[in-house]
Amino acid sequence: MNDSILIIGGGIAGINAALNAAKYGTKVYLVDDTASIGGMMARLDKTFPTNDCSICIEAPQMYEVDNHPNIETLTNTEIRKVKKIDGGFNVKLVQKARFIDPEKCTGCGACVEACPVSIPDEMDGKISGMRKLVYMPFPQAVPNVVVIDPDCRYGNMREKGACVGGCVVDCSQCRECPIALCVLACQKEGKDAVRLWQSNKNLKLEVKSIIVAAGIMDAKPPTGLHGYDVFDNVITYVQFERLMNAGGPTAGQIIRPSDKEHAHRIGWIQCAGRGLDHGVPYCSKVCCMVAAKQTIITKEHDASVDTTIYYNDLKAYGKGFWGFYQKAIENGVRYVRARPYDVVEDPGNKNLTIRYENLETGELVKEEVDLLVLSTGLVPSDRNKRLAKVLKLELDKFGYFKEKDPLISPLETGVDGIYLCGGATGPIDISESVVQATAASMKAVL
Amino acid sequence: MNNEDIRVGVFVCDCGSNIAGVVNVPEVVEYARGLKGVEFADEGRWSCSVDALATMQESIKEHKINRVVVAACTPRTHEPLFKANIKEAGVNPYLLEFVSIREQVSWVHMSEPETATQKAKDLVKMGIAKAMLLEEGEEIRLPVKTDCMIIGGGMAGMTAASNVADQGFNAYIIEKEQRLGGLLNGISTISHDHDEILAADIVKAKTDSVESHPNIKVFTSTEIEAVEGYIGNYKVTLKANGKSENLDISTVIVATGMQEIEPEQGQFQYGSDPRVVTQLQLEKKLKAQDVGDIKDVVIINCVNSKNATRGCCAIGCPVSVKNALTIKKIKKDINVHILYRDLSMVKDEQIHLQAAKAAGIKFVRFPDDRYPEVIKNNGNLMVNVYDFLLGRELEIPSDLLVLTVGFKGSDTVEQVKGHLKVSSNPDGFFQEAHIKLGPLDFASDGISLCGCAKNPKSLKETCEEGIGAAMRASIPMKNG
Ligand SMILES: Cc1cc2nc3c(=O)[nH]c(=O)nc-3n(C[C@H](O)[C@H](O)[C@H](O)COP(=O)(O)OP(=O)(O)OC[C@H]3O[C@@H](n4cnc5c(N)ncnc54)[C@H](O)[C@@H]3O)c2cc1C
Ligand SMILES: Cc1cc2nc3c(=O)[nH]c(=O)nc-3n(C[C@H](O)[C@H](O)[C@H](O)COP(=O)(O)OP(=O)(O)OC[C@H]3O[C@@H](n4cnc5c(N)ncnc54)[C@H](O)[C@@H]3O)c2cc1C
Ligand code: SF4
Ligand code: SF4
Ligand code: SF4
Ligand code: SF4
Ligand code: SF4
pLDDT digit string (tens) for B98-128? 999 988 888 878 888 999 999 999 999 999 9
Average pLDDT over residues A124-153: 89
A5-95+201-215+381-445 and A219-378: same fold?
Answer: yes
Residues B325 and B364 in one domain: yes
Q: Any idea which of B231-235, B310-314, B375-379, B429-433 has the lowest mean pLDDT?
A: B231-235
A251 contacts B48? CB cut-off 8 A? no
**Res. B140: pLDDT tops 80:** no
Residues B245 and B161 in one domain: yes
**Res. B3: pLDDT tops 60:** no
Three-state SS annotation for chain B = CCHHHCCEEEEEECCCCCCCCCCCHHHHHHHHHCCCCEEEEEEECCCCCHHHHHHHHHHHHHCCCCEEEEEECCHHHHHHHHHHHHHHCCCCHHHEEEEECHHHHHCCCCCCHHHHHHHHHHHHHHHHHHHHHCCCCCCCCCCCCCEEEEECCCHHHHHHHHHHHCCCCEEEEECCCCCCCHHHHHCCEEEECCEEEEHHHHHHHHHHHHHCCCCEEEECCEEEEEEEEECCEEEEEEEECCEEEEEEECEEEECCCEEECCCCCCHHHCCCCCCEEEHHHHHHHHHCCCCCCCCEEEEEEEECCCCCCCCCCCCHHHHHHHHHHHHHHHCCCCEEEEEECCCCCCCHHHHHHHHHHHCCCEEEECCCCCCCEEEEECCEEEEEEEECCCCEEEEEEECEEEEEECEEECCCHHHHHHHHCCCECCCCCECCCECCCECCECCCCCEEECHHHCCCCCHHHHHHHHHHHHHHHHHHHHHC
Average pLDDT over residues A24-42: 97
Residues B103 and B168 in one domain: no
Interface test with A, best of B18, B471, B474, B478 (most A CBs within 10 A): B471
Residues B401 and B412 in one domain: no
Residues B295 and B416 in one domain: no
Residue type, A76: N
Residues B220 and B282 in one domain: no
Q: Whose CA is nearest to atom 4 of ligand 3?
A: A108
Among A285, A322, A325, A286, which Cα is nearest to A309's? A325
pLDDT of residue A165: 86
A61 contacts B437? CB cut-off 8 A? yes
Residues B274 and B288 in one domain: yes
Task: List CB contacts (< 8 A) between A246 and chain B.
Answer: 16-18, 21
Atom of ligand 1 minimally distant from the CA of A47: 8
DSSP state, residue A228: T
In a domain, B95, yes or no: yes
**Res. A48: pLDDT tops 90:** yes
Average pLDDT over residues A153-175: 89
Backbone angles phi, psi at A227, to 5 degrees: 85, 10
A320 contacts B48? CB cut-off 8 A? no
In a domain, B136, yes or no: no
pLDDT of residue A125: 67
Tell which of B74, B100, B131 closes a domain: B131
Degrees, nearest 5: CA angle B17-B19-B23: 110
pLDDT of residue A14: 98
In a domain, B142, yes or no: no
pLDDT of residue B142: 66
Handedness of CA B292, B294, B297, B303 (dihedral sign): negative
CATH code for the domain of B288: 3.50.50.60
pLDDT digit string (tens) for A325-337? 999 999 999 999 9
**Res. B194: pLDDT tops 70:** no
Between B459 and B194, the more confident residue is B459
DSSP per-residue string spanning A314-368: ----STTHHHHHHHHHHTT-EEEEEEEEEEEE-TTT--EEEEEEETTT--EEEEE
**Res. B238: pLDDT tops 50:** yes
Say how many domains are in chain B.
3
Q: How confident is the model at residue A71 (pLDDT cuts 50, 70, 90)?
A: very high
A56 contacts B46? CB cut-off 8 A? yes
Tell which of B370, B389, B405 closes a domain: B405
CATH number of A219-378: 3.50.50.60
Residue to mutate (ligand 4; options A182, A184, A196; most atoms within 8 A of CB): A182
Domain around B107: 3-131
**Res. B4: pLDDT tops 70:** no
Taking CA atoms, B30 is separated from A342, B35, B58, B262, in Å, by 55, 9, 20, 60
Residue type, A34: T
In a domain, B175, yes or no: yes
Rounded CA separation A411/A440 (Å)? 7
pLDDT digit string (tens) for B148-193? 999 999 999 999 999 999 999 999 999 999 999 999 999 999 987 6
pLDDT digit string (tens) for B259-310? 999 999 999 999 999 999 999 999 999 999 999 999 999 999 999 999 999 9
In a domain, B426, yes or no: yes
In a domain, B139, yes or no: no
**Res. A90: pLDDT tops 70:** yes
* Under 8 Å between Cβ of A26 and B474: no
pLDDT of residue B1: 47
B391 contacts A435? CB cut-off 8 A? no
Taking CA atoms, A64 is separated from A38, A275, B271, B311, B312, in Å, by 12, 41, 56, 35, 35
Task: List CB contacts (< 8 A) between A140 and chain B.
Answer: 46, 48-50
Q: Any idea which of A133-142, A211-220, B190-199, B445-454 has the lowest mean pLDDT?
A: B190-199
DSSP state, residue A425: G
**Three-state SS at A7:** strand
**Res. A207: pLDDT tops 60:** yes
Residues B368 and B289 in one domain: yes
pLDDT of residue B43: 93
Burial class (CB in 10 A: 0-12, 13-18, 19+), B308: exposed
Domain A5-95+201-215+381-445 fold is FAD/NAD(P)-binding domain (3.50.50)
Closest CB to B73 among A56, A140, A245 = A56
* Under 8 Å between Cβ of A174 and A197: yes
pLDDT digit string (tens) for A348-378? 999 999 999 999 899 999 999 999 999 999 9
Kindly identify which residue of chain A lies nearest to residue B314, measuring between CA atoms: A317
Residue B455, Cβ neighbours under 10 Å: how many? 25
Residue A94, Cβ neighbours under 10 Å: how many? 16
Residues B285 and B206 in one domain: no
Work out the minimum CA distance from B340 to partner chain A, whole angstroms. 10
User: What is the interface size between A and B, counted as CB pairs within 8 Å?
Assistant: 206
Mean of the per-residue pLDDT values for chain B? 93
Q: Whose CA is nearest to atom 8 of ligand 7?
A: B312
Residues B439 and B336 in one domain: no
Residues B392 and B414 in one domain: no
Residues B14 and B101 in one domain: yes
Structural domain spans, chain A? 5-95+201-215+381-445, 110-188, 219-378
Between B478 and A275, the more confident residue is B478
Q: Any idea which of A15-29, A310-324, B36-50, B59-73 has the lowest mean pLDDT?
A: B36-50
In a domain, B137, yes or no: no
Tell which of B131, B159, B177 closes a domain: B131
Handedness of CA A105, A108, A111, A112 (dihedral sign): positive
